[in-house]
Amino acid sequence: MDTTPVKTVNVTLGGREIAVPAGGYFDRYRMNPNLDEVARDPAVSSLEFFRQHPKREAVARFGPTWTPNFYYRVSTIQLLLLAPLARLQAALPSPLQALRVMPRRGLVALNIYRYDVCDNDPYNEAAIAIVVRRPGCKASNAVEMLQSLRLKTNFAHVLALPVTTEIARVRGVEGYGLPKWMTGIELDIGNMVEGRVGNVDGTPDLVVRAPLPKMRPASQPPQVSTLKLVNTIDGAWHETLTQSHSLSSGQTLLPRGVQVVRGSGPMSTLLGQLEASIAIRLEVIREGQIALHLPEPITLGVDR
């Protein structure tokens, strides 16, 4: 393992001085890269997905920036876990509603991400989120689930989102209003998949292990899935659009051999409070791409 210290430079973000890798993507491009230069990065497979989503200049809470944020090479593991609807509803701010997938049960999404190439430099991330109903939706839960499957669009409210770099933490908290803190996170994908989230003191918080599902290449034409995060920023409701393009992925329904080992940290405590238990789907993305847009204000209670 290369233990050579990474040279850094300081940048100002949200009134803070933050160290980023010298010569890295953020240092060179400040969120507005030349895609022809990115195409020469051997870790980036293709750029067609990103050319379909041109960036625009915008003003976020931390200052001027460009959106969407491009993640050129992503790996992730996601577990969808059943949890009592009453527990989920108690953890949601009003008027959000947990999506009911069966009598008295909803879904918790547990994700661990590894962002190898990104506009704000490599980092890892973990997430616990509740799958919620589309704001303003008047259809039944069953109809909404079918629509979500057909449109490949889901809505979620994030409860925890630790990361491994300060720039990712500041951008997430200041720009997106998300519950981020810094800690150790790792994701390894081989014949087995293992994701590890640590406590800030270095002790284990949460470990996820699972057999690798059969991997499949991207379909043609490429399928893009959409996740919309719903949360408040400065007391007003916002929606954050995330578009994901998978290049190599696999999934298993009612997966066997999945282990979720809980420690004493905040992620494990939260899963216990939600009583998230049975894994009904495992998805592994060995290589994917993401376009993350800035939050947009919305009005809840309006069917959109």
Rg (C-alpha) for the chain, rounded Å, is 19
Is the pLDDT reported for residue 2 higher than 70? no
Give per-residue pLDDT as tens, 261-273.
999 899 999 999 9
pLDDT at 14: 80
For range 36-65, the mean pLDDT: 95
Q: Do strands 224-233 and 153-160 pair parallel, antiparallel, or not at all (unpaired)?
A: parallel
Give per-residue pLDDT as tens, 94-122.
999 999 999 999 999 999 999 999 999 99
Q: What percent of the chain has pLDDT over 90?
A: 83
d(CA 70, CA 244): 10
**Among 71, 80, 66, which Cα is nearest to 30's?**
66
Is the pLDDT reported for residue 81 higher than 90? yes
Give per-residue pLDDT as tens, 8-37.
999 998 888 999 999 999 999 999 999 999
What are 72's strand-pairing partners?
none
Give per-residue pLDDT as tens, 131-152.
999 887 777 777 777 667 666 7
8 A C-beta contact, residue 268 and residue 205: yes
Domains in the chain (CATH in brackets) are: 24-297 (2.40.400.10)
pLDDT at 140: 77
> What is the per-residue DSSP string for 29-56?
HTT---HHHHTT-TT----HHHHTS--E
What's the one-letter identity of residue 64? Answer: P
Is the pLDDT reported for residue 38 higher than 70? yes
**Among 94, 95, 158, which Cα is nearest to 128's?**
158
Q: How much is the pTM?
A: 0.94
Q: Give the other-Cβ count within 10 Å of 207's Cβ.
A: 18
**Residue found by looking up tokens 């916002």 in the block:** 238
Give per-residue pLDDT as tens, 162-204.
999 999 999 999 999 999 999 999 999 999 999 999 998 989 9
